[in-house]
Structure 1
């Protein structure tokens, strides 16, 4: 990204310059990423932040609700070792073996080194990354890798964001029976 996150948030009207300064001071104390600090201080909602990030990166935001409803084939989950998924907050969604492409939802889709590592580990050189919250991805990992059917229940995952009404993205079965993710463009 050419512009820094704080600049993008101010330009989008999501936060004020003073809010960025407050978050930067908090960041010095806790050592978290700026976006996490803004959310922790309730200066911006996590869905709004992630939608902005997705729009900036030219990708889409996958809500916790969409991850909860996703049906991910076991062979797709097998491509990314669970420890890697947990350590890097990444969940494989689909694999197209003919095109040699993998789609994932990640907390940091701008992480080029991780995208390269995913391509190497899976043997699929094209990795399409969508944006998701760390909490939702962690919960989705519990559901999909550990078969925890209650992972997304309110009692089991109170920290998972509850998305505002959004058409992004919807899941359906693809023409070959593989799970696909379709979405509309994120306004930027």
Structure 2
């Protein structure tokens, strides 16, 4: 999606070609996604990218900060897979797993999740930064004190 996202943002006049090139340089240098580089450099906000992708791919967007993630669905996909694909499962409706994705066009990620869980996957879009924060929070080891063990 990286090149496609950049092209679409330039075509829609959300960013300039010069901004795209600068963000691509940062992307290569820092090993980050294009969307992350664009937002980090202040060319476009995370929310603008999320809204744009939601419109472009006709999928719902989700604000993970305001959404309570179902703990049962978190167990369906491990943290490493979530971080690799920049996704987090958020809920389930019957045989469909609703998955927040930074890139809703990532068919490889959708196929992986479908294979791992056996569920159909319905993507919703969220910012990459919000997804990473949600993963870190959701999969964090519970704090256990020594007194709890004794």
- Normalised to the residue count of structure 1, the TM-score between the two structures is 0.64
- Whichever structure has more helix as a proportion of its residues is 2
The structure-2 alpha-carbon separation of the partners of 1:79 and 1:132, relative to structure 1 and needing over 3 Å to count, comes to same
Aligned to 2:107: 112
| The one of 136, 139, 144 aligned to 2:130 | 136
Q: CA deviation at 1:57?
A: 1.3
Q: Give the match's secondary structure for 1:146.
A: coil
- The answer to whether residue 7 in structure 2 is matched with residue 7 in structure 1 is yes
Q: 1:118 to 1:43 in 2, by over 3 A?
A: same
How many residues align? The count is 142
Say what the alpha-carbon RMSD is for the aligned residues. Answer: 2.6
Q: Quick check: 2:49–2:127 contact (8 Å CA) kept in 1?
A: no
Q: How far did residue 20 of structure 1 move?
A: 2.1
Q: Which residue of 2 aligns with 1:186?
A: none
Distance (Å, rounded) in 2 between the aligned partners of 1:73 and 1:31: 31
- Show CA shifts across 1:44-95 (max 9, x none): 11211221122111112222xxx23323333222211233223332211111
Measure the CA separation in 2 of the matches of 1:87 and 1:29.
Answer: 19
Unaligned runs of 5+ in 2: 143-150
Q: 1:101 to 1:17 in 2, by over 3 A?
A: same
- 1:1-188 equivalence runs, <5 A: 4-63=4-63, 67-97=64-94, 100-124=95-119, 126-146=120-140
Partners in 2 of 1:20 and 1:86 — Cα distance? 25
Change (3 A) 1:122 1:132: same
Q: 1:121 to 1:69 in 2, by over 3 A?
A: same
